[in-house]
Amino acid sequence: MSVVAENKVVTIHYTLTDDDGEELDSSRGGEPLEYLQGAENIVPGLENALLGKNVGDKLTVVVEPEDGYGERDEEAIQHVPRDKFPAKAKLSAGMPIHAQTEDGETVQAWIVDVKPNQVTVDFNHPLAGERLHFAVEIVSVREATAEELEHGHPHGPDGHHHH
C-alpha cells in the first residue's frame, strides 16, 4: 500500500466547497493536483488530514480558517494612490496583483475597488475567514526526487518548470 507520508509526492482529485455547499474550486474534469507532503504546498488543515491515508481513499475534510487561508484581517485592506500603479494598467475589482512589502518580499494581493485617484487592495487571501470543505480522493503516492525535495514542490510528469 502506498501511504501518504512526509516527503512523498501525492496526487489528489479534490472539490472545494464553502459552508453553503457552493463549489469554489475543483480538479474534477481536469488534471489532478500534485503536491509534496510536508512542504506546505497545500493548506495545513488538508495536509494534516491526508497524512497516513492510502491511495484510493476518499475523504471529506473540513478545514477551519486558522488551518486554511487564515482569518480575515481588516487592516490588510489598504488604499493605494492610483499613480502607484502603471498609468496604462487596466485595473479592475477582483484582479490579482503582486505587491512588495516593506522588507522587499513579493506577496499576492487582490484589487477590491478602483477609483480615479485611489485603488483599494486586499492583502487577505480571497478565502481568508472561510471554513473550507474538501472532498478528496487520493490518486497516487510516490517518492519525491532529490530535486523536488530541494525545491519543496513536485515537478510533475513533464519534468521541471519553475514558479
Question: What is the contact surface with Zn ion in residues (CB under 5 A)?
Answer: 151
Query: Which is closer to Zn ion, CB of 73 or CB of 143?
Result: 143
Q: How far is the CB of 148 from Zn ion (least distance, A)?
A: 7
Pick between residue 142 and residue 151 the one whose CB is nearest to Zn ion: 151
In the complex, residue closest to Zn ion by CB: 151
What cell was used for 4?
A: 501518504
Distances (CA, A) of 124 to 99, 107, 141: 12, 10, 32
From 159, 154, 145, 160, select the one nearest 32 (Cα to Cα).
154
Least distance from Zn ion to the Cβ atom of residue 149, Å:
10
Place of cell 519553475: 162
Q: Which is nearer to Zn ion, 82 or 151 (CB)?
A: 151
- DSSP run (H or E) holding 148: helix 146-151
Cβ at position 87, least distance to Zn ion in Å: 35
